[in-house]
Structure 1
Amino acid sequence: MALGSPDAAHDRGEPAPHPPIFAGPAPFPSRREGEHLTDDDRQRLARTVMRRGFRERRSGTAEPAVAAHPRSAVEIEDDLRGRLGLRSLGDRLDPTARLWGWLGPLVVTALAAVMRLVNLNHPTRLIFDETYYVKQAYSMLTLGYEGDWPADDANDRFVQGDFSDLSTKADYVVHPSVGKWMIAVGLRLFGADNGAGWRFGAAVVGTVSVLLLARLATRMFGSALLGTVAGLLLAIDGMHLTESRTSLLDIFLMFWVLVGFWFVLKDREATRAVLARRTAAVLAVEEERAGGRAALPERFAPRVGPRWWLVGAGVALGLACGVKWSGIYAVAVFGVMVFVWDTCARRAVGARSWLAGGVLRGGVPAFLALVPTAALTYVATWFSWFTHADSYRRQWAADLRAGGEPVPRSWLPDTLNSWWEYHLVMWDFHNNLTPEHSYAAHPAGWIIQWRPTSFFWPDPAPPPEACGAERCVQAITSLGNPVVWWLGALALVVLVHAAVRRRDWRAWAILAGYAAMYLPWFAYAHRTIFTFYAVAFVPYVVLCLTFVLGWVTGLLRPPRRDPGVSTTADALPGTTANAVPGTTADALPGTTADALPGTTADAGPATTAEPPARPSRLALLLTDDGTVRLTARSWAVLGVVVGLAVAAAVFWWPIWTGATVSYDFWRWHMWLPSWI
């Protein structure tokens, strides 16, 4: 029930606010003040408003709500911001809510840092694919390109600080260099002869991603508590943890895609604010000329100017592609999402040719800001390859030409031709990698962690005295937190419902993360792939579960949006009344006079209202406007889910970090036969 609804006022023992005034006949007989509206009345009212909004959008005109006098640019902008899902111009985040929005995420980030940085040197050997990426990172620091390590026992000497096995012959590698350069930062800071140096880059990136996700969730959901929960769930996820403590490339891919996702969300907010302001300026002039309400004089809504946040997203996603090629799917999916948002925004502000405007004034500038930036950034990540003549296949075209052999694509400069040929070789490798592997896993099982990947299982095993049992083991299994992943799989069904039936843009944004980082792997199910690749979309698994937790507990409010009908009460400048409580500005403090307990609304000039009571600190932790109260049942649901996730993290911690345990202890943690 919305706080500003007549029922809410009745329940508080206050006089009910006046209902909004509509042009034309009322959809049902008026009620006496303080009398409840029936559910049927509410449904008929909502249907009437939606039908009227549809007619107005089709005609490009709006029926005046009360009077036909022209509005100021500020009034129009405030109304348009409500339609676009933005805060009112006069709405400012409470300092306490801002404090909670940083304090909670910083606390869980500190926890994540401890979990990822403590005892980072264990194991003291190169494990799993560290044998490739760590040595390649050292080679890039030394030679500027990936050199070959031909000796079979090069790993043993490497961990002892003997790097003499590195040759100047270029090694054939199948991934670009960004992730390896990020590993190299730790090698430079702490040396290449210890695990802290090898894994520092991954640990820092994993820790920062927790803060980034927590802040992102706080802004998306309007709740510091939900943002903190999202950060905590990511911090205690086993897959994210193990890859933050291992020098593989996928944690860096996850990080840069998440940064790009954050920039895309910032672009949505920034461009909609500019669109509201510029459209309001045009409409104010037209209404002043017409002496009343007016439509946009042009078919298109105004331009929004440079898309600097999208340029930032292009840089981040270009770096993601420079870690692994799968980052290109994020460029495509996020680009489509930006176009859809732009088109919907132009329709919401009343543009007659909203689709064409979405293409010409939204889609084309967005494409130019995002895609070329990502492409140029990706090319720039190959700077070391271009500047070192001994890099792998760097002289391929020149050698063919010198030998008198035909050169494919001879019209290209030799360097670019060699670079393109290298990409064709890498593509052939990735598309035809079919050797059998005991931990290969079909992507259908990733979201339930059907076949996790074992990163470390030493042979010979530790002696019996190491654990006090007949048989001791050390294991690092990249197993996601079962509570997070299993509940996340169920939550995905609810998320799809929220996206399709409730048209919640936040649900669509989270699904875009799944679509970019998960779905493309089904096209490569024929090749050898592993569950640990799923770390690239674990942030969206966490956002999905947090979204549903917020919806179940009541912390997640409906997205701010306007059904398309102007119901501004002109007697109250700068405020709006909404016939469907809880869907637009009446959920925002400061946008309607009756939105907070203890206030009264009146359409006449004699209106008096007591200042609303300031929300408590706890209320501002729950939501950024302090208007939501949780029931005991909601607290119980939230506490049980988070408590189970924390308990699971404690239970599987030894299996995630390679602690020395008995074989029986390890078997107790292998709940499914496919985990062994």
Structure 2
Amino acid sequence: MTERSMTPRGTRILAWALAVGITLVAAILRIAGVGGPATLIFDETYYVKDAWSLWNLGYEGTWGDDPNAAFEAGDVDGYSAEGSFVAHPPVGKWLIGAGMALFGTGPFGWRIATAIMGTLLVPLLHVVAKRLTGSVWLAGVAAALLAIDPLAVAMSRIALLDTSLALFILLAFWFVLLDRPGTVRRIRAGTDRIAGPIVWRRPWIIAAGGVLGLASAVKWSGLYALAVLGIAIVVMDAIDRRRAGVDRWVESAIGRQGPASFVLLVPPALVVYLVGWTGWFATDGGYDRQSSTNPFVALWNYHRTVLDFHGSVTAGHTYASPAAEWILMLNPTLMERTNGDDGAVGLMAALPNPVLWWAGIACVVWLAVRIFIALANKRPISGTDGFLLAGICATYIPWLLLPSRTMFTFYAITVLPFVILAVVVTASRLRDHPDPDRRVVAGTATTVALTAIFLVGIFFLPFGTGWVEPEWLYKAHLWLPSWYL
């Protein structure tokens, strides 16, 4: 039975079964054995200890010299009440701290929250892919590719901030998708053919703003998504008004609906962002907390210091990789290396499934070309193409504008869901070719291609889990000389 021949109820059951099954696989890959190694890996040295002092003090305390060995041994009280300067907002560390409070201060406790966030990213991608492609099977493919992707798995098994950031950004994009049908209906129902209506009833935009506030309270790069989605909402409103026959659709979208959309999106983001700083507000020991009697001025002073710090992050690093290098993944970040017997090696590295990644980049370029051609010929832009390009712009393009800043390939975890979506959307378009003969060929070709991508993901999965491999198998993964980690 094909997907098109199934009843709606059968399709829904299949969709749920696929989502649940794939999510269980993702959970196993991310949670099983996450308590090892029992040492602070890579930047866990910052976030885990900050999270624990934040959970206990309400702000990040100061640790003594070389506290890692004691912390790893279970002595987790080596912090003082003196506020420590930290470069990232608190929400991601609150999540890590919650895991430690619930499951103990060992490695399982400090990693479990990130593992859960990485697991939740999989069913979220499933529902987004289902909305964009209309296909249960392609939605399952998207979720499965993310479930086994070595970058996604590795970033779910280490207590960093970026997986939580990726989840909140994709969730905000999902909420904007949910806003579309109701808003389009209200615009078309408007009686003003000159300027169109001002649509205030947009709860999903408010929700998107709140989630983007959470994203920005994990890492400031969430602000890029807030800016891009704000612009995308205005552009979509303009297109919707034009299709609804509104005469002055550009002026209406910018000058009439634009301010309303701003009010719906940005203030909720700001409120949620500030709520993320509740511990810092409620106590008096946090960094820069005493710089002003007005706590909001003090927070502003802190933010100015953080902004100056981010502008100075230009130091060299073994695994530093500017955003332009992410396209080929020339210098993946090594998280952990284990040397076994007889040359066996176990790696945990920020390296996505290379065939998926490179195919996805090609699909993104193709989507961008489609948009350019549509604009050049004054044809309507595909909403799906615009959605995907907005996702790439929000998560990747800003890093290209900062070539001198020290950055790493693991930042690409926020880009990965949109790259996967580009792959399945492209496959959907090829499989829906209007010519029946070409449709059959395209269906076979895309099935073979997606199967090959999935198998390569399985092959590279040890780089996500850190499983120890025989030397020959480890070397078989080194497709580029710079991958010799």
TM-score (norm 1): 0.67
**What CA deviation, in whole Å up to 9, does each residue of 1:168-210 have, x standing for no partner?**
22221100001001112211221112x2211111111111111
RMSD over equivalenced CA pairs, Å:
2.1
Match of 1:448, SS state, is coil
Q: Which residue of 2 aligns with 1:424?
A: 304
CA drift at 1:630? 9.3
Mapped pair 1:657 → 2:439 = no
Aligned pairs for 1:142-181 within 5 A: 142-152=56-66, 154-181=67-94
Aligned pairs for 1:257-656 within 5 A: 257-276=169-188, 278-279=189-190, 282=191, 298-397=193-292, 413=294, 415-457=295-337, 461-462=339-340, 464=341, 469=342, 471-502=343-374, 503-554=381-432, 632-656=440-464
Match of 2:345, SS state, is strand
Match of 2:77, SS state, is coil
CA drift at 1:301? 1.9
Q: Which residue of 2 aligns with 1:188?
A: 101
Is contact 1:206-1:251 (8 Å) kept? yes
Q: Which residue of 1 aligns with 2:29?
A: 115
Q: 1:197 aligns with which of 70, 88, 109?
A: 109
Is contact 2:152-2:464 (8 Å) kept? no
CA drift at 1:431? 1.0
- Greater Rg by CA: 1
Distance 2:244 2:345 in 1: 63
Distance 1:643 1:342, change over 3 A: same
CA drift at 1:106? 2.4
Mapped pair 1:243 → 2:243 = no
Deviates more, 1:139-148 or 1:309-318: 139-148
Residue identity matched to 1:178: V
CA drift at 1:472? 3.6
Residue identity matched to 1:553: R
Is contact 2:199-2:260 (8 Å) kept? no
Distance 1:222 1:662 in 2: 42
Aligned pairs for 1:56-75 within 5 A: none
**What CA deviation, in whole Å up to 9, does each residue of 1:201-234 have, x standing for no partner?**
1111111111011111101221111211111111
**What CA deviation, in whole Å up to 9, does each residue of 1:595-615 have, x standing for no partner?**
xxxxxxxxxxxxxxxxxxxxx
TM-score (norm 2): 0.92
Identity across matched positions, percent: 36
Residue identity matched to 2:131: R
Distance 1:180 1:629, change over 3 A: farther
Aligned pairs for 1:5-84 within 5 A: none
Distance 1:636 1:299 in 2: 49
Is contact 2:198-2:260 (8 Å) kept? no
Residue identity matched to 1:672: L
Distance 1:376 1:671, change over 3 A: same
Mapped pair 1:669 → 2:477 = yes
Distance 1:361 1:265 in 2: 21
Distance 2:136 2:455 in 1: 23
Q: 1:211 aligns with which of 123, 132, 149?
A: 123
Distance 2:413 2:223 in 1: 16
Distance 1:233 1:473 in 2: 25
Match of 1:475, SS state, is strand
Distance 1:104 1:361 in 2: 43
Q: Which residue of 2 aligns with 1:140?
A: 54
Is contact 1:301-1:357 (8 Å) kept? yes
Distance 2:93 2:75 in 1: 20
Is contact 2:53-2:79 (8 Å) kept? yes
More helix by share: 2
Is contact 1:431-1:524 (8 Å) kept? no
Is contact 1:553-1:637 (8 Å) kept? no
Distance 1:654 1:247, change over 3 A: same
Is contact 2:346-2:467 (8 Å) kept? yes
Distance 2:311 2:111 in 1: 29
**What CA deviation, in whole Å up to 9, does each residue of 1:614-642 have, x standing for no partner?**
xxxxxxxxxxxxxx999553343233222
Distance 1:146 1:642, change over 3 A: same
Match of 1:299, SS state, is coil
Give structure 1 regions of 4+ aligned residues with deviation exceeding 4 angstroms.
628-632
Distance 1:196 1:645, change over 3 A: farther
Is contact 1:124-1:159 (8 Å) kept? yes
Is contact 2:183-2:202 (8 Å) kept? yes
Q: Which residue of 1 aligns with 2:168?
A: 256
Match of 2:287, SS state, is coil
Is contact 1:151-1:165 (8 Å) kept? no
Is contact 2:344-2:474 (8 Å) kept? no
Deviates more, 1:525-534 or 1:490-499: 490-499
**What CA deviation, in whole Å up to 9, does each residue of 1:141-180 have, x standing for no partner?**
211111112131x222222221132222222110000100
Higher RCO (CA 8 Å, separation ≥ 6 residues)? 1
Distance 1:230 1:651 in 2: 17
**What CA deviation, in whole Å up to 9, does each residue of 1:507-555 have, x standing for no partner?**
1110001111101112221021111111111111111111111122227
Distance 1:395 1:191 in 2: 32
Is contact 2:150-2:463 (8 Å) kept? no
Match of 2:80, SS state, is coil
Distance 2:448 2:320 in 1: 34
Q: Which residue of 2 aligns with 1:286?
A: none
Match of 2:201, SS state, is coil
Count of aligned pairs: 472
Is contact 2:430-2:443 (8 Å) kept? no
Is contact 2:430-2:439 (8 Å) kept? no
Is contact 1:300-1:353 (8 Å) kept? yes
Distance 1:211 1:630, change over 3 A: farther
Distance 1:663 1:428 in 2: 45
Distance 2:223 2:203 in 1: 20
Is contact 2:214-2:276 (8 Å) kept? yes
Residue identity matched to 1:210: V
CA drift at 1:479? 0.6
**What CA deviation, in whole Å up to 9, does each residue of 1:243-274 have, x standing for no partner?**
01111001111111111111111112221122
Deviates more, 1:545-554 or 1:512-521: 545-554
Distance 1:225 1:134 in 2: 39
